[in-house]
Amino acid sequence: MSGARGSALAILRGQIERIETAEVVHQRDRVALGHGEADGALKGGLARAAIHEVFCEGRQGAAATGFVTGLAGRVTARKPLLWVRQDFSEIETGALSMSGLAELGLDPRRVVMVRAADVESALRTSADALACDALGAVVLELWGETRQFDLVASRKLTLAAQSSGVTGLLLRMAAQPLPSTAETRWMLRAAHSPPGPVWSVWGAPRFDAELLRNRHGLCGRWIMEWNCDECQFSEPSTYPQPVAAAPAHRPDPAVSWQRRAG
Amino acid sequence: MIHALDEAAERLGLYIGQPLANARAMCPDLRVFDADTVADVKTLSDVADWCDRFTPLVALDAPHGLFLDITGCAHLFGGEAALLRTLVRALARQGFSVSAAIAGTSVCARTLTRQATGTIVADGGEAEAISRFPVSALGAGEAITTGLRRAGLKTIGDVALRSSHEITARFGARFSTLLAHALGQGDAPINPRKPLPDYIVEKRFAEPIATDTMIAMTLSRLAETLIASMEKQGKGARRLEAAFFRTDGVVRTIMVETGRPVTRSAVIDRLFRERLDALADPLDPGFGFDMVRLSASRTEIVVQEQRDLDAHVHDNDELAALLDRIAARIGGKRVVVHLPQDTHIPECAMLAAPAQHHLAAAMQAEWPARAESEPPLRPLRLFDRPEPIKVPFATVPDGPPHQFTWRRALHAVVRVEGPERIAMEWWRQDGKQLTRDYFRIEDAEGLRFWIFRDGLYEGEVFDDEGKPVSPNWYVHGLFA
């Protein structure tokens, strides 16, 4: 009895495998993010030709935008990036600034922006764009919970991405994570700049990134820092020591902080 | 005052310009409607749209006339007489009373419509055809008509007999030119409503079509013909117009624009499918369309490139085609690229331009380079309009705040960098603009803001009595 059930399960698994073989084509194509542990969990990096979702609370919108921008910068590889956004999200969190993008080390020349009036046209546009292999990545930015973005819509995007090899990045601000066909799902919060001397250079983008779902690996939560000069993520760094030598007779405050944190 | 009247009223002896009270006295049960000149103009332009089926050169002759330049078109409708008959009958069926005439010059034809509708004058016969008509038929204006009549010149023939310098001396050069044109001596060009498209193809149906599949099929056939004729001359279309002529006279025109010249009919096909799909008020066939016309109103010479070897060119083409499709669906202004602007005012630093037209420029644009090993100095998200924040107090008068309220939430400031002072461009703007001091701020949660004080402390902002007041604070952007 149990043997029969086992073989039935095996057959079903085999069928599902065959249905999903389309994935195998681009399966190997992964881009390392630069953060060791995250890359480990992702089995070498972020998968191309798939959909990745980034969620955040409403006020964390800018941090999530930064994270998505970083992911897009990693996967596009000098190809154009199509950024589809809903009119409403621009009112809530401000417009994507090209000078800000350039400050993150990304190339504003490769960004084409689509200003969709509503969710339907945004979804339709992104599905169209994901089928076009001249693009490096498509970012779809939605604000709030949306009824229209259901499993069917998500499946459509995934299929389009698989067939063309374009990566889809979904930026969902002020929304709750729901089941979908995405390859990975992240929850984003801004992370503090490490405490340091007043004159130190602070303010490099730091993200508290929680990997909620990973179809082919483990989940986790890491502090990731975006390195604007090298255009990749990295482990959180401490800032360089002050130039003056630390007094020998008492412990360096920065070092003691490091120990506490570690 | 009577603005217009119908035939029955004319028979009663009423005339245009007569006071309404007089008209009522003559005919007490007169039915009166308010004149609506705007609707009249609209109707005339609708009729002109409908007349597009005969020739692309249709000009308005306000208030009630239309000129059609049918040079080279008449044979398509079985000759001039047949064309005139078709036109008058079709318009009469739609409920208009029409008088029409064909002549070598537009002024002559207009004169004929006023006196002898349905006349066709052969070239050179203009003077003879109109010589017996009264001078009022020329439509030269009340003063001139009265003047001519007083001079004893009753018919156009009488006027034509006088030498032209006499007429010019008495009635002005304008009238003498008008007369010359009416007599077929020289012609004034008409002023068509629409520029002549470079290429036109059309299909007429004996039996009107109404189904979507038939419309789509017709469009793709027309697209093939259009492309074939453009290809011979090495042209590609940048702007395409499809006009649907409904049997009841309504004409609907749909336009698509492309970023680069289109040379394949499949592309045209797809663009129109997207456009028709996304129409807010869908194409209403009513009782069917009896004619569909596709015209390329803007074309460009296409440089043939060898595509297969150069992947980069191929990619750019693909991208342009994608942008055309999206633009056809949601509108060209909603697909944008950004161009850097030569200014240091943050909200003016980039200009959004339609991607279809500026894609190449945007790909070549020079953006200011970032400073190495510095954190981002400009926010990733920028508010179009800076949002006011409440700042309770600042310990140092012109220093940064310790906490602020934005969108009803209190943010405690943990780290600050600044100020970065940005002065406004006094040489450009009118009125006084305040200097801004920008601060990069991190709050207790790790959120990073770009805030500024609008105006120098106790230096730029004053109340009515001239005392300095503390300036306002704003959030202008958010850092990642």
User: How is residue B200 written in tokens?
Assistant: 């036109």
Return the amino acid letter for A242.
P
**Does position B299 have pLDDT exceeding 60, yes or no?**
yes
pLDDT tens-digit map of B225-283: 999 998 888 888 989 999 999 888 888 889 898 888 888 888 899 899 888 888 878 88
Among B311, B327, B201, B219, smallest CA distance to B265 is for B219
Kindly report the nearest CA distance between residue B439 and chain A, in angstroms.
12
pLDDT tens-digit map of B206-228: 888 888 888 989 999 999 999 99
Establish how many alpha carbons lie within 13 A of residue B154's alpha carbon, considering only the half-sphere containing its beta carbon.
1
- In angstroms, the CA A213 to CA A54 distance is 11
The stretch B275-293 carries a mean pLDDT of: 86
With contact defined as beta carbons under 8 Å apart, do A193 and A206 qualify? yes
Distances A52 to A101, A183, A241 between C-alpha atoms, Å: 20, 6, 37
Q: Which residue has the higher pLDDT, A6 or A160?
A: A160
Q: Which residue has the higher pLDDT, A249 or B22?
A: B22
Instruction: Indicate the burial class of A256 (C-beta count within 10 angstroms; 0-12, 13-18, 19 or more).
Output: exposed
Size (chain B), residues: 480
Interface of B with A in 250-279 (CB under 8 A): 278
Can you give the residue ranges of every domain in chain B?
A: 36-182, 199-328, 335-366, 381-479
User: How is residue A198 written in tokens?
Assistant: 């007043």
Among the partner-chain residues A95, A107, A229, the one whose CB lies closest to the CB of B372 is A229
Tell me how many degrees the CA angle B56-B58-B60 measures, rounded to the nearest 5: 160
Whether A204 and B380 lie within 8 Å, measured CB to CB: no
The stretch A153-161 carries a mean pLDDT of: 93
pLDDT tens-digit map of B34-63: 989 899 999 999 999 899 888 888 999 878
The predicted pLDDT at position B351 comes to: 92
Whether B446 and A132 lie within 8 Å, measured CB to CB: no
The stretch B344-349 carries a mean pLDDT of: 88
User: How is residue A82 written in tokens?
Assistant: 């199509």
Among A133, A110, A123, A127, smallest CA distance to A25 is for A133
With contact defined as beta carbons under 8 Å apart, do A104 and A228 qualify? yes
Kindly report the nearest CA distance between residue B438 and chain A, in angstroms.
15
Place of tokens 């046209």: A121
Determine which helix (DSSP H) or strand (DSSP E) holds A81, and give its type and residue range.
strand A81-86
Please indicate if any CB of chain A lies within 8 Å of the CB of B415.
Answer: yes
**What share of residues in chain B are helix, strand, coil (percent, to 5)?**
35, 25, 40
Return the amino acid letter for A191.
A
Which of B335, B357, B366, B381 should one mutate to test binding to chain A, selecting the residue with the greatest count of A CBs within 10 A?
Answer: B381
What residues of chain B lie within 8 A of the CB of A109, using their CB? 362-365, 367
The stretch B452-477 carries a mean pLDDT of: 84
Whether B373 and A101 lie within 8 Å, measured CB to CB: no
Kindly report the nearest CA distance between residue A98 and chain B, in angstroms.
7
Q: CB count, 10 Å around CB of B384?
A: 11
> Which residue of chain B is at minimal alpha-carbon distance from A195?
B415
pLDDT band at A241 (very low <50, low <70, confident <90, very high): very low
Question: What sign results for the dihedral spanned by CA atoms B252, B253, B256, B261?
Answer: positive
- In angstroms, the CA B115 to CA B133 distance is 7
pLDDT tens-digit map of B365-389: 999 888 888 889 999 999 999 999 9
Among A60, A128, A2, smallest CA distance to B447 is for A60
- In angstroms, the CA B439 to CA B473 distance is 11
Q: Which of A67-76, A106-115, B140-149, B335-344 has the weakest average pLDDT?
A: B140-149
> Which residue of chain B is at minimal alpha-carbon distance from A104?
B376
Kindly report the nearest CA distance between residue B343 and chain A, in angstroms.
12
With contact defined as beta carbons under 8 Å apart, do A174 and A143 qualify? yes
> Which residue of chain A is at minimal alpha-carbon distance from B370?
A103
What residues of chain B lie within 8 A of the CB of A104, using their CB? 376, 380, 480
Whether B448 and A190 lie within 8 Å, measured CB to CB: yes
Q: What's the gap between Cα B163 and its chain centre?
A: 46
With contact defined as beta carbons under 8 Å apart, do B328 and B259 qualify? no
Kindly report the nearest CA distance between residue B285 and chain A, in angstroms.
25
Kindly report the nearest CA distance between residue B235 and chain A, in angstroms.
25
Interface of B with A in 77-136 (CB under 8 A): none
**Does position A253 have pLDDT exceeding 50, yes or no?**
no
**Does position B447 have pLDDT exceeding 80, yes or no?**
yes
3-state secondary structure of A227: strand
What residues of chain B lie within 8 A of the CB of A206, using their CB? 446
Mean residue pLDDT across chain A: 85
User: How is residue A106 written in tokens?
Assistant: 């990304």
Contacts of B234 (CB under 8 A, 6+ apart): B301, B302, B304
- In angstroms, the CA A137 to CA A72 distance is 6
| DSSP H helical ranges for B20-141 | 20-26, 37-51, 80-93, 106-115, 126-130
Instruction: Indicate the burial class of B182 (C-beta count within 10 angstroms; 0-12, 13-18, 19 or more).
Output: buried
What residues of chain A lie within 8 A of the CB of B326, using their CB? 114, 125, 128-129
Whether B446 and A114 lie within 8 Å, measured CB to CB: no
Among the partner-chain residues B364, B373, B381, the one whose CB lies closest to the CB of A62 is B381
Which of A69, A97, A139 should one mutate to test binding to chain B, selecting the residue with the greatest count of B CBs within 10 A?
Answer: A97
pLDDT tens-digit map of A3-23: 777 788 888 888 877 776 555
Whether A192 and B446 lie within 8 Å, measured CB to CB: yes
DSSP B337: E
Distances B445 to A212, B218, B418, B442 between C-alpha atoms, Å: 21, 62, 20, 8
Interface of B with A in 310-339 (CB under 8 A): 314-319, 322-323, 325-326, 329-330, 334-338
Please indicate if any CB of chain A lies within 8 Å of the CB of B376.
Answer: yes
User: How is residue A1 written in tokens?
Assistant: 């009895």
Among A245, A238, A240, smallest CA distance to A259 is for A238
What residues of chain B lie within 8 A of the CB of A103, using their CB? 370, 376-378, 380
Among the partner-chain residues A67, A95, A108, the one whose CB lies closest to the CB of B367 is A108
What residues of chain B lie within 8 A of the CB of A117, using their CB? 330, 334
pLDDT tens-digit map of B318-340: 898 899 999 988 988 999 999 99
**What share of residues in chain A are helix, strand, coil (percent, to 5)?**
40, 25, 35
- In angstroms, the CA A81 to CA A134 distance is 10
Among B391, B392, B393, B388, smallest CA distance to B407 is for B388
**Does position B316 have pLDDT exceeding 90, yes or no?**
no
Kindly report the nearest CA distance between residue B90 and chain A, in angstroms.
42
pLDDT band at B448 (very low <50, low <70, confident <90, very high): very high
With contact defined as beta carbons under 8 Å apart, do A79 and A116 qualify? no
Return the amino acid letter for A1.
M
Among the partner-chain residues A98, A201, A207, the one whose CB lies closest to the CB of B350 is A98
Q: Which of A170-174, B142-146, B301-305 has the weakest average pLDDT?
A: B301-305
Mean residue pLDDT across chain B: 87
Please indicate if any CB of chain A lies within 8 Å of the CB of B385.
Answer: no
Tell me how many degrees the CA angle B246-B251-B254 measures, rounded to the nearest 5: 115
Q: What's the gap between Cα B356 and its chain centre?
A: 18
The stretch B337-361 carries a mean pLDDT of: 90
The stretch A187-201 carries a mean pLDDT of: 82
What residues of chain A lie within 8 A of the CB of B379, using their CB? 62, 94, 97, 100
Kindly report the nearest CA distance between residue A207 and chain B, in angstroms.
8
> Which residue of chain A is at minimal alpha-carbon distance from B366?
A109
What residues of chain B lie within 8 A of the CB of A231, using their CB? none
Contacts of B385 (CB under 8 A, 6+ apart): none
3-state secondary structure of B303: coil
Kindly report the nearest CA distance between residue B294 and chain A, in angstroms.
26
Statement: B199-328 belongs to CATH 3.40.640.10: no
Domains in chain A (CATH in brackets) are: 49-190+204-238 (3.40.50.300)
What residues of chain B lie within 8 A of the CB of A93, using their CB? 381, 478
- In angstroms, the CA B73 to CA B77 distance is 7
> Which residue of chain B is at minimal alpha-carbon distance from A129?
B322
DSSP A79: S
Helix axes B212-232, B265-277, angle to 10 degrees: 140
- In angstroms, the CA A91 to CA A115 distance is 12
The predicted pLDDT at position B312 comes to: 61
> Which residue of chain B is at minimal alpha-carbon distance from A68?
B480
Chain A, chain B: beta-carbon pairs less than 8 Å apart: 196
pLDDT band at A242 (very low <50, low <70, confident <90, very high): very low
Among B87, B139, B85, B80, smallest CA distance to B114 is for B139
Determine which helix (DSSP H) or strand (DSSP E) holds A100, and give its type and residue range.
helix A98-103
Whether B384 and A95 lie within 8 Å, measured CB to CB: yes
What residues of chain B lie within 8 A of the CB of A67, using their CB? 480
